[in-house]
Amino acid sequence: MSHNVRVRFAPSPTGPLHIGGVRTALYNYLFAKKHDGTFILRIEDTDQNRYVPGAENYIIEALNWCGIPFDEGPGKDGGYGPYRQSERKDKYFAFAKKLIDSGDAYYAFDTAEALDNHRKEHEEKGKTFIYNWHNRNKLDNSLVLTAEEVESRIAAGEDYVIRFKSPQDETLDLYDLIRGDMEIDTNILDDKVLYKADGMPTYHLANIVDDHLMEITHVIRGEEWLPSLALHVLLYRAFSWEAPKFAHLPLIMKPAGKGKLSKRDGEKMGFPVFPLLWKDPNTGGISQGYREDGYLPEAVVNMLAFLGWNPGTEKEIYTLDELITDFDLEKVHKAGAKFDPEKTKWFQQQHLQQSSDEEITKEFTKVLHKHGVDEKQSYIHKVVTLLKERAVFVEDLWQLGDYFFERPTTYDEKAVKKAWKDETPEILTQLSGVIAKIDDFSAENASNTVKTWIQEQELGFGKVMQPLRIALVGSMQGPDVFEIASTIGKESTLERLRFAIEKL
């Protein structure tokens, strides 16, 4: 098996890709890579009414950003293309026709109006109208019409659909890699439309035909498709095709309460539910994205991998390669996975700490440019090493350490009230004299010199160090004050002391 694994991610381009969709793509990717298989992107765009321009590009960009690019798909032909269903339109009718010829499907002429009336009549009697075995022989279809009638109505241009003829009185055994064995009574199934009046296949037909033609071995998709499994298995049987294996992934649930995680949850609680920022082409409305919010793709991927799966060990921080090794479809949970925005931040913080100082320096340089700061890489690198452990996002480094790049212009009031005493200007003036004489201005040497001086003068550390920090930083924050002094340099340190003495 392991050579021929072919899986597909098959989104419909109806808007930005929800993180639930990204997780589906990720699990497909991990499974494919684990088995040296092929990860395919197929765009399911048969429903032209729901097509949203830009959505396909968004999907591709999101996969690339996450580091899980497809092997085959639009623009990357692997011999099974085209990969957009709208470009495969001409393939589907012949398959629908095949099922008609084998007696597994039939033409139905019932108008929307007629079906509506049936529905209403049923509702009035407290029943639900289902188009299937128990009434299909009373409706307007080729099961009751003669072959000539059917032919002439089609020739006359009447609208028709092709419906699947679900079997009666059968118990169907279904198997899912995550959920195990399931039984379905076929009497509850309706005769789903396979081919529509507009000359397009429905999702069900196109999906099965394409999975077959693309030689898909495993269908890994969201739980919302579980109710379609019986029909899909029946379609494979009707075509006498070998069905792929199925795995239906658990839903991603709201952080609190019941139900699926929605866009609204994110808006209410201020976290993104999309990988990338999305601008709605119709309304112009903006939805937050993980990328633009400063998350590392590694963190997002790690977080998503754990929404519905874990290795059964204590290990939580994973690289993509490690995920490929440890991921196991059969260990995916059945129960819905609660989305946790705080945990997502934790993954981000952990992955940022794991990033190399060089990478962070590169990203932080961009942030600095946005703030109009241009500095030497070695200097920025030094700042990164001092501040990194306090940061969750690269952007945080600016709030944490803007004073490394510009002299504080304001001073934290509370800190000043607490630490700036009448004698402070005098002490700092003396301190400046001590500092001015230090030749080796390394953090260590500066620290030793100043501390010795404090002890000799019997001044008390707080009286010197706190005002010094206020002068350099503007507040009581930051790493070791001598690291700061040494980094900004002797001249800047003295200048900041002068400025603070004058200002405060």
Give contact residues for ligand GLU (rule: CB under 6 A): 10-12, 44, 203, 207, 221, 225
C-alpha–C-alpha distance, residues 336 and 119, integer Å: 33
Rounded least distance, CB 94 to ligand GLU, Å: 21
Distance CA 159, CA 113 (A): 13
Tell me how far, at minimum, the Cβ of 220 lies from ligand GLU, in Å: 8
| Closest CB to ligand GLU among residues 7, 301 | 7
- CB 397 within 8 Å of CB 387: yes
Shortest reach from residue 207's CB to ligand GLU, in Å: 5
Instruction: Determine the 3-state secondary structure of 52 from DSSP.
Output: coil
Minimal distance in Å, beta carbon 10 to ligand GLU? 4
Distance CA 458, CA 464 (A): 11
- Residues 380 and 362: their CA atoms lie apart, in Å, by 9
Q: Which residues is 107 bridged to in the sheet? A: 162
Which residue in this structure is represented by tokens 């900004």?
Answer: 488
Q: Quote the CA–CA distance of 288 and 295 in Å, as a whole number.
A: 12
254 counts as catalytic: no
CB 45, min distance to ligand GLU, A? 9
CB nearer to ligand GLU: pick between 203 and 306: 203
Q: What are phi and psi of 435, to 5 degrees?
A: -60, -40
Nearer to ligand GLU, 44 or 191 (CB): 44
Please give the Cα distance from 360 to 358 (Å, whole number): 5
DSSP state of 88: S
What does the DSSP assignment read for 325-380? HH--GGGS-SS-EE--HHHHHHHHHHHHHHS-HHHHHHHHHHHHHHTT----HHHH
Closer residue to ligand GLU in complex, CB, 76/204: 204
| Closest distance to ligand GLU from the beta carbon of 381 (Å) | 45
CA–CA dist 24, 18 (Å, integer): 10
Nearer to ligand GLU, 41 or 276 (CB): 41
Minimum Å gap between C-beta 168 and ligand GLU is 26
Residues 6+ apart with CB under 8 A from 27: 220, 247, 249, 305, 308, 309, 327, 329, 332
Nearer to ligand GLU, 44 or 265 (CB): 44
Give strand pairing partners of 260: 253
Half-sphere exposure of 161 (CA within 13 A, CB side): 18
Residues in the chain: 504
Identify the active-site residue in 196, 245, 263, 338. Answer: 263
* CB closer to ligand GLU, 226 vs 317: 226
Task: Extract the tokens encoding 194.
Answer: 């396979």
- Report the C-alpha gap between 337 and 312 in whole angstroms: 15
CA dihedral in degrees (483, 488, 490, 496; nearest 10)?
-110
Residues that are catalytic = 263
